[in-house]
Amino acid sequence: MTTLDDLAALDTRYMAAIDAAGDIPALEEVRVAALGKKGEVSLKMRDLGSMSPDERKVFGPALNGLKDSLTRAIEAKKTALEADALNAALASERVDITLPAPREPKGSLHPVSQVMEELAVIFADMGFAVAEGPDVEDDFHNFTALNFPADHPARDTHDTFFMEKGEDGTARLLRTHTSPVQIRTLMNSEPPVRIIAPGRVYRCDWDQTHTPMFHQVEGLVIDKDTHMGHLKGCLIDFIAAFFETDEVEVRFRPHHFPFTEPSAEMDVRYERVGDAVKVGSGDKWLEILGCGMVHPNVIRACGLDPDVYQGFAFGMGVDRLAMLKYGMSDLRPFFEPDPRWLSHYGFSPLLQANLATGLS
């Protein structure tokens, strides 16, 4: 028959086993042996039913006390073992936070996108809005409305990418300049108009300084009192802002464009500093853009009266501006999938161009 001394010995033995358990599985074996369905303490609890009332008064509290004591000891030991395991894992899997973090690849802004941003900032400060239009154009907007004669070389297939005619028989082509945006704006707006039209254009060229697809920005101002002096002042201010110099010397040479009259090419005095151009010094002249007063035929084609309205227009290559300002000698890598080139010439997308802190 079980005595209180037996229960005390049982308590001592299992407490020693609990204390000796070195891990969670070993502790679980002790728990099952003592408190499982067939454990020693559990079996003795069943024996209470065969005892007399007086014996149950003695052994009931003793067995319940033993069970509770072992349960608390097992829980305490389990908590200690889990803490030891966590500390061991932390010690073996420690990360040295003083080491530099691995470099993550980051993108950069393409020079063309950077120059587009710079142009938008400069001309926005002059009151210009940005206008856009489709890359696929028709003959009227790309040539006819711009006063191109029917036999003009630009209408030939060796200069222009023509496409299949539309369902209505209209000739379609990839625009050769962004001037069609000016036509569409004039036809859908009431003067005064002051816009720039940046975007992709397409011509049949491929060499060191020409590609079949490149970028242009064109400007248009239409009002009742606009004159050549406004054109010159606008472009001189633009060159000074874009090349970030107050020393600007320019000249306007007579030229011919179908859509302007009079027409001119604008040259700037410069010198080479490495592959980049330093504007405002040196003894050389560089043609930078084309410009002129909008031809009356163009104004008339847009439904306006050239005796009432007049204006000026200008156009320049965005890619060429990037080459001149940032010292790139070859245009073709602009359109090649080489991340090394872009990491060298690219710009941080977080540093947006602005006139207050500097464009570039």
Which residues share a beta bridge with 323?
Answer: none
Longest Cα pair distance anywhere in the chain, in angstroms? 128
Q: pTM of the prediction? A: 0.68
Amino acid 157: pLDDT: 56
Residues making up the binding site for Mg(2+): 261
Distance CA 45, CA 63 (A): 7
Residue 354 DSSP class: B
Strands 136-138 and 162-163: unpaired
Q: Which two tokens stand for residue 224?
A: 């009742």
Using CB atoms within 10 A of its CB, is residue 197 exposed (0-12), middle (13-18) or buried (19+)?
Answer: buried
Cis status of the peptide bond prior to 149, with omega within 30 of 0: no
Residue 57 backbone dihedrals phi, psi, to 5 degrees = -65, -30
Sole residue written with tokens 């050769």: 176
Residue 296 and residue 73 in contact, taking contact as beta carbons nearer than 8 Å:
no
* Cα angle, residue 357 at apex, residues 352 and 360 outer, rounded to 5°: 55
Handedness of CA 182, 185, 188, 192 (dihedral sign): negative
Q: How many CB atoms lie within 10 A of CB 278?
A: 16
SS3 state at 213: strand
Residue 216 and residue 315 in contact, taking contact as beta carbons nearer than 8 Å:
yes
Rounded to a whole number of angstroms, the CA Rg of the chain reads 42
Cα distances from 100 to residues 94, 96, 148, 348, in angstroms, run: 15, 9, 62, 22
* Chain-centroid distance, C-alpha 267: 35
Exposure string of 161-183, with b = 16+ CB inside 10 Å and e = fewer, is beeeeeeeeebebbbbbbbbbbb
Amino acid 1: pLDDT: 57
Distance CA 86, CA 92 (A): 10
Residues making up the binding site: 261
Amino acid 260: pLDDT: 94
SS3 state at 262: strand
| Residues of the chain predicted below pLDDT 70 | 1-2, 49, 59, 154-158, 208-209, 357-360
Distance CA 118, CA 355 (A): 9
